Amino acid sequence: MKAIKQFTCKSCGHKEAKWLGRCPECNTWNSFVESEPEIAEPGRRSSHRKAESEHIPVPITSIHVEEEQRYDSAIEELNRVLGGGIMKGASILIGGEPGIGKSTLMLKLAHELKAPGRVLYVSGES
């Protein structure tokens, strides 16, 4: 998480995201000092110390990764390059030279895709 700086006027307490030479509220010069940002979002930790402890390095083997839902494209090679199928909600760009078979592959996919719902095939040229 990126630390967000905040500047507060020593004179009136006005807050700004960046340092200003003169306070727009009370017109005092050189009154801004860097202060701890207030995190207004509910559920977020307000303590700086707690936020730091959430970023302690852990061994990669202890990280639990949830498997996302994937749909079988019914094309073994395509499933393989997509990491095991088409991930739900994913946008995938199919690129290649003209005549390489992109449209053929996508029509085959549209026909054989093992997923609920219907297929919308949209094609364009430039």
The contact set with Zn ion (CB under 5 A) reads 9, 11-12, 14, 23, 25-26
CB 51 within 8 A of CB 37: no
Nearer residue to Zn ion within complex by CB, 6 or 79: 6
Minimum gap (Å) between residue 116 Cβ and Zn ion: 59
Nearer residue to Zn ion within complex by CB, 23 or 113: 23
Nearer residue to Zn ion within complex by CB, 27 or 103: 27
Residue whose pair of structure tokens reads 């050189």 in the numeric block: 30
Q: Which amino acid is at 84?
A: G
Minimum gap (Å) between residue 17 Cβ and Zn ion: 15
Nearer residue to Zn ion within complex by CB, 25 or 72: 25
Minimum gap (Å) between residue 58 Cβ and Zn ion: 44
**H-type helices in 1-126, by residue range?**
48-53, 76-81, 102-112
User: Quick count: other Cβ atoms within 10 Å of Cβ 39?
Assistant: 14
For residue 62, what is the DSSP state?
Answer: G
Q: How far is it, in rounded angstroms, from Cα 29 to Cα 20? A: 9
Which is it for the CA torsion 34, 36, 38, 43, positive or negative? Answer: positive
Minimum gap (Å) between residue 54 Cβ and Zn ion: 34
